[in-house]
Amino acid sequence: MVVKKDMIIGDLLMVDEGVAPILMSAGLHCLGCVLASGETIEEACVVHGIDCDSLVEELNNYMQSVG
């Protein structure tokens, strides 16, 4: 699976809960909030002032490692 900026955070978490620590360490601490279920990675990054490209790269590196 390839992670993209327009992916919904809730959908990504359903695919692999192992991404949660990555999202949390990046500054997305409210993974259980209502917005996370319908917010894209890019939208969350904008709201929280996070570099989206770096986060997506880190998420893809993780996804490749778990194959």
Compute the Cα dihedral for 53, 27, 22, 17 and give only its sign. Answer: negative
Confidence of residue 61 (pLDDT cuts 50, 70, 90): very high
pLDDT in tens, 7-41: 999 999 999 999 999 999 999 887 777 767 789 99
pTM of the predicted model as reported, rounded to 2 decimal places: 0.90
Question: Which residue type sits at 44?
Answer: A
Compute the Cα dihedral for 34, 38, 16, 6 and give only its sign. Answer: negative
CA distance 35 to 58: 22
Pick 60 or 29 by higher pLDDT. 60
pLDDT for the residue 28 = 87
What are the chain's domains? 9-66 (1.10.3910)
**59 pLDDT above the threshold of 90:** yes
Alpha carbons within 13 angstroms on the beta-carbon side of residue 4 total 4
